[in-house]
Structure 1
Amino acid sequence: MKKILLSAVFLFSALSYAQDVKFGAKVGLNISNLSGDVEDTKSLIGAHLGGFAEISISEKFAIQPELLFSMQGAKSEYSESDVDYSYSEESKTKLNYLNVPILAKYYVAEKFALLAGPQFGILMSAKEDFEFSENDNGITDSGSESIDAKEFYKSLALSFNLGASYSITENFFIDARYNLGLSSIAKDYTDEFGNSTSLKINNNVFQFSVGYKF
């Protein structure tokens, strides 16, 4: 919470020095994964959309706060087989966040800018989806299940963004960035015997966006 308040103070300070403020909207692709105390995870494809403000401090420097709905997570696959038996399973961790990046934007050239800054994420929902298929001596069984997993994840996530933006026209632009998770998103777990387990799991997301400045 202290970090959020400090960022808000920084943002309001930037507004007081603003020479120009532009607003816009953006939408794009997420390629997300989880790192830390997880094994054999693969990237999950998602999307993000939202709005932003570009607060110009000087000709080359601006502050860009954003508000984005972002679909993140990871997937994993497992399979085994024998002479008369085979089993395969795919699981997907689907985490939906309301993200608030606060980015410093530096124009290296007229149309090309570099971006960097912290991001605060509020977890909106979390689900674990499972699909399996089993074949035992010619008898096939398959199924799927979706579990609400929000209780296993922290409500706030801290990340850091690094990226770049290119203006195609005065209004249209594209950008790409990498979102590195700084804080663990997993809650501590206590089993029925009172044993506590602390896991470190971090979000990692590549984002590719198209946007429009009004």
Structure 2
Amino acid sequence: MKKLFIGVAFAGSLFINAQEKTKSSSPITFGVKAGFNATTISRNDEKDGYYDNDQKMKAGFNAGVFVNIPVAEKFSVQPELLFSQLGSKSEARYRNSEGNQTVTVEANDKINLNYLALPVMVQYNILPQLYVEAGPEFGFLLGGKSKGDVTITERSGNFTSYQSEKYSDKINMDRFNRFNVGIGVGAGYYFTPQFGVTARFTAGLTNIMKDDFDAFKARNNAFQVGVAYKFK
């Protein structure tokens, strides 16, 4: 939480500094935005002949507000406050053999992680209606849910048995770091002075799991596309 406050304070200082610079230039504008998330969690699990963990993209959404603060003729700073759904789908397979007995475990899991995100983007206008952007994103984990199924297959000689189970549970918040940091790059195009489309990729920089609970490192990654509307 302390780090999130530091991020907010950083964004606030940019806002105050930009206000002083824009008194005689382009006006500060406020807006709303929403869009689609395609997200994954990158992990450093080891893969070998007995264990494999395949991460796949998960769909989610983002929505929130922003303020665009011109700081020079073609540059502006845009802090945003978003609700953003991150996470991933995974297919894991584990096999263990001893003598004539083989046990195979197959698991399909989808984890949804809900964040309050504060991106602070520096934007450069290539054209009046077209911009590119880059900047940090600070996030605070609000909660989440994990659901999926597990199938266990046991083979011993000519005998085979199956066990299958489905689950759906809230995530154990004690296993996750509440604060998340990423770096984003993107672009946007405004068809009118008010309405535009946006695209951004954000790569996680910090481990979302606590070291006390998990040996592997995991980071959020998100590709976002959406629409934005600036108020006059």
Residues 13-22 or 118-127, more deviating: 13-22
Question: 2:40 aligns to what?
Answer: 33
- Cα deviation, residue 97, structure 1: 0.3
- State the distance in 1 between where 2:171 and 2:91 align: 20
Question: 2:68 aligns to what?
Answer: 54
Q: 1:63 aligns with which of 77, 99, 111?
A: 77
**1:1-43 Cα distance to aligned partner (Å, 9 max, x none):** 3555444323321222124111111110001111132442111
- Cα deviation, residue 141, structure 1: 4.8
The question of 1:92 aligning with 2:96 is answered no
- State the distance in 2 between where 1:139 and 1:202 align: 34
Identity between Structure 1 and Structure 2 (%): 30
How many positions carry a matched residue from both structures?
Answer: 205
TM-score (norm 2): 0.78
- Cα deviation, residue 76, structure 1: 0.8
- What does 1:1-214 correspond to in 2, within 5 Å? 1=3, 2=6, 4-18=8-22, 19-38=26-45, 39-78=53-92, 88-132=106-150, 141-189=164-212, 198-214=215-231
**1:44-70 Cα distance to aligned partner (Å, 9 max, x none):** 111000010111223311110100000
Task: Please say if residues 30 and 207 of structure 1, whose CA atoms lie closer than 8 Å, have aligned partners that are also in contact.
Answer: yes
Q: Once superposed, what is the RMSD of the aligned Cα atoms? A: 2.5
Counterpart AA for 1:59: E
- Cα deviation, residue 105, structure 1: 0.8
Q: Which runs of 5 or more residues in structure 2 are unaligned?
A: 46-52, 96-102, 155-159
- State the distance in 2 between where 1:24 and 1:3 align: 21
Q: Which has the larger radius of gyration?
A: 2
Q: Which runs of 5 or more residues in structure 1 are unaligned?
A: 191-196
